[in-house]
A and B are shown apart, each in its own frame.
Chain A
Amino acid sequence: MSSRSPCAPFAGVPRPLIFSSSRPEDADPFEHKFSFPKTLLTCEKTVGHVIKRWQSFGRWPRRSPASPQPGVGASRSRWSARRAGKDQSRKPGELNAMDRREFLIAGGVAGIALGMAPVRAQSGTIKRGGTITVARTDEALSLDPFVVSDNGSIYNIAQICEPLIMADETGRGLVPGVAESWTEAEDGLSIEFTIRDGIKFNNGAPVTVEDVIFSLTKVSDPQGSYGFAFNPLSSIDKIDDRTVKLTLSTPYAALKSALSLFAASIVSKEAYEKDPEAFGQAPVATGPFMVESYVRGTQVVMVRNPHYWMNGEDGEPLPYVDKAVLKYVPESNSRVLGLQNGDYDTSLAMPLNQAASVDDMDGVSLEVSPSFRLDYVYLNHGKAPFDDPKVRLAVNYAANRDAIMKAVYFGFGEIPNSYMPKVAFWSDAVEPIPFDMATAKQLVEESNYDGTPIQLMVDTGNASFRTAATILQQGWQQAGLNVEIVEYDVGTAFSMTEQGEFQAYVSYITSDINDDDELASIQAEGTGATRAFFSNYNDDEVNKLLSQARQESDREKRAELYARVQDKVYHAGYSVPLNFLPYVNGYHDYVRNWRNITVGWWWLRDMWLDK
């Protein structure tokens, strides 16, 4: 296996709901903006059923009866592990007996190993060439790394562009990218990067210090989407033909993470300045692939970059495949059918109600891999009745998460014990709040709730969240709260949340980096710009712990600090966490080295086709 990951994904930014990473069932938030009549909402399930029936008549190859639905939690990681070593593994559900702690350890290990295991197993048999076709849920709006901030674009750009520093294959560390090495000043106020010797853009032109300065100046523009991540950067200077120096106004531990953002990609200054719009159609950069054609709303066709610097295991330059076609297929049934039909080698974001039948398709594997996503109900502590901690805890006790797991997620995921996604320092020691109606009722009685209806907000057309809201509504009403479900389009809902004009909102959040600092702070730090991500939560002790954790270099101590934060924030009834949702993709078995990494995207650089 090659020793490095492709260009590092978007460190630093926990993208809020509307831009966040793929949802296994409803990957594109805009997918839910259509207000289908209610009868239509069952269509997807019915079509899944029809497909299964069809298979059972023997017209389509069928392997075995439908596998049991995965149990909550444990089986999800089993499916991931199964993906890593398919032949030896058991069916989902068999792990249900495993106790929670065992699972958590196994899950963690599997999660870390996920990226590497299949590669090791398959090394030495690599075949070069061929075209991989991937069906995706969201389209690329532009391929200009300095313009976009949506996943549809980012995941394409990640195959074409590379930053100075990139995330390693576990996603936890950083490895050299366009820069060969770097030296940090002892006072933490500057860092010097040496550009890789002989590195070229995909048009054959050499990468110069001027290109690096141009690119970093673009990304650090405070009015750009990711400018905030480069706030302390005060100047970027040329030292010599291969060295560039970044000077900071204050020490900034997250600088290297920020530099590994997709938006900090090093691009050709000449090509960009000549015609930014043309650049956005076919970036001149240093990544493993380059654009052959890009039709907005349809597909991006990428071919290998003949000047790519990194070699594969066979000693030849990467990537292994000649071509990659990333197709935009928003409709989930089409993605399933196209996978079955052989139109797509990989289909992303399988609808959860059809995941079991996808896994049963001959020659097709289901990938269930951990993500940095948490589905949860935002609560506004600034408004009654959620300004009362008793009501916040009551809605947690009265949330039937098992029912939601079955009805909404078809068993995929894990009931959370945290207010934020399961990132590096997530702690399993935090006691989950159980479903306990008696306690909920008692808490409501003790609270100062006056009977005014609580508005539970859902994005229009989001069937999954609507179902979750209905289950929550039932529980909350039993506990003695009056609840109304209200729907707004995603733009309005986000805007209302941001302005604090909401009480409860069913939504989700994802983290784009493997470090807890950004998300832990953005969600829980009451003094931040987003007021603890619009919740108005503010706790002095938590603020202090977060600031300590940010400065602490010892990982164990940091883990301890974050565990305390997790425990405190979660048990303060910060929100109503619903599910740690995994990525669920389908791919043909001949697609080797396919993996969805926790931050959301997948690596095409060192995958190959065994056919």
Chain B
Amino acid sequence: MDLLRFVLARLLRAIPVLLGVVVCVFLTIHLVPGDPVRIMMHGRISDEDVAAIYQQLGMDRPLIVQFFDFLRNAIVGDLGTSLIQKASVTTLVLEKLWPTLLLLSLSAVFSTLIAIPLSLLAAYHRDRWPDHAVRLGSIVGFAMPPYWIGLLLVLFFGIALNWFPIAGMGEGPVDNLYHMAMPALTISLFLGPVLIQSLRASMLDALTSEYVEVAMAKGLSDWQILTRHVLRNALIPVITVLAVNMSWLLSSAVVVEYVFGLPGLGSLLVRAVGYRDYPLIQGVSLIFAVIVIVINLLADLSYTLVDRRILKGKP
């Protein structure tokens, strides 16, 4: 029950955030110069015809009316029609949501799988060569831009070894995962080091704490101490780091989607901005906001799984 109330409270708090995002995006796209109709018609259209198209699309009405229209439709799931592609924004967004979500979740899994053992290794062997190696490796990983990592992976795993496809999504969920492995690894090699750094630091913190001394005094093995006590307590700050970075990675994913030719939300947004396709920009931004909110909610829920006391704490 506590959990349910916790989730509901979080969801309620998300409403003003979403509203804020919608207002900001709506105002911003109307502030920047660029007219979708003229861009669409290559500048070769008379002012009267432009006006007629605006009227047809309802874009001649006051901004505030258009805004509330958008809001009212968005609530029932109708995000309007793309001006350029003449297709439902909801359809377009849903088409491209799966690759982006798959990429993000697979990246989160890979990053965690890379970060946990390596940071355990580093913390356990503090200031000895395994620690130095992990830290050096993570600095190198972090310093390499995802674009570059992606190209290197394509070059070696795609071309030289021919293990993975170099671009595209494939067909069917299994093939999707196979195609997504390298893009996700690219993001993970960038995100993993961030996790390693914070996980190692919080584990070192935990290692010096009293409960570890108690555990040692009780005669628990190193492995038990590390996994049961140290890792568990060190995870909370890491979940935060992961959540914050996952949200931030949405923008980084654009680059990775581009390198690997993935039909994700990022490329859809970039294209929509280029054409000043207002409904599509609004739709994709809204979905981005929802994704960020959901990621943060999931992070909050993960805290409670790691440490049940959080549920009992302040709401």
Q: List the interface of chain A (C-beta within 8 A of B).
A: 13, 15-16, 18-19, 29-31, 33-34, 36-37, 39-40, 43, 47, 50-51, 54, 59, 135, 139, 141-142, 144, 147-150, 222-223, 225, 227-228, 276-277, 280, 295-299, 327-331, 333-334, 337-338, 340-341, 343, 489-492, 494-496, 498-499, 522, 529-530, 534
- Nearest residue (CB) in A for B56 is A223
In the assembled complex, B9 has its CB within 8 A of some CB on chain A: no
Minimum CB–CB distance from A373 to chain B (whole Å) comes to: 16
CA distance A489 to B271 in the complex (A): 11
The 9 closest A-B pairs by CB, nearest first: A297-B263, A495-B34, A491-B34, A495-B33, A329-B261, A334-B167, A141-B85, A147-B86, A30-B274
Q: Name 22 interchain pairs, CB-CB below 8 A, sorted by A.
A: A15-B42, A36-B255, A147-B85, A148-B84, A223-B53, A276-B86, A280-B87, A295-B169, A296-B95, A296-B96, A331-B259, A337-B155, A338-B167, A341-B166, A343-B166, A343-B167, A491-B274, A492-B34, A494-B43, A495-B33, A495-B35, A495-B39
Residues of B contacting A490 in the complex (Cβ-Cβ under 8 angstroms): 274
A228 and B44 form a contact (CB under 8 A): yes
Interface string of B156-179 (1 = CB under 8 A from A): 001110100111110000000000
In the assembled complex, B297 has its CB within 8 A of some CB on chain A: no
Among B35, B162, B167, point to the contact of A329 (Cβ < 8 A): B167
A43 and B147 form a contact (CB under 8 A): yes
Among A19, A31, A36, point to the contact of B42 (Cβ < 8 A): A19
CA distance A341 to B165 in the complex (A): 10
With contacts A34-B258, A47-B155 known, what are 18 further pairs, Cβ within 8 A? Answer: A30-B274, A31-B258, A33-B274, A43-B145, A50-B155, A141-B84, A142-B85, A148-B84, A276-B86, A277-B86, A280-B86, A297-B264, A298-B169, A330-B261, A337-B155, A338-B166, A494-B39, A495-B38
In the assembled complex, B32 has its CB within 8 A of some CB on chain A: yes
**Beyond A142-B87, A223-B53, A341-B159, is A47–B151 a contact (Cβ under 8 Å)?**
yes
A51 and B145 form a contact (CB under 8 A): no
In the assembled complex, B40 has its CB within 8 A of some CB on chain A: yes
B92 and A296 form a contact (CB under 8 A): yes
- Nearest residue (CB) in A for B147 is A40
Minimum CB–CB distance from A527 to chain B (whole Å) comes to: 15
Residues of B contacting A37 in the complex (Cβ-Cβ under 8 angstroms): 145
B42 and A529 form a contact (CB under 8 A): no
- Nearest residue (CB) in B for A327 is B168
A144 and B86 form a contact (CB under 8 A): yes
CA distance A330 to B257 in the complex (A): 10
In the assembled complex, B254 has its CB within 8 A of some CB on chain A: yes
In the assembled complex, B148 has its CB within 8 A of some CB on chain A: yes
**Beyond A50-B155, A331-B259, is A16–B273 a contact (Cβ under 8 Å)?**
no
Minimum CB–CB distance from B50 to chain A (whole Å) comes to: 9
B33 and A496 form a contact (CB under 8 A): yes
Residues of B contacting A492 in the complex (Cβ-Cβ under 8 angstroms): 32-34
CA distance A144 to B159 in the complex (A): 36
In the assembled complex, B236 has its CB within 8 A of some CB on chain A: no
- Nearest residue (CB) in A for B259 is A331
Residues of B contacting A296 in the complex (Cβ-Cβ under 8 angstroms): 92, 95-96, 263
Which positions 23-43 of chain B face chain A at CB distance < 8 Å? 32-35, 38-43
B155 and A51 form a contact (CB under 8 A): yes
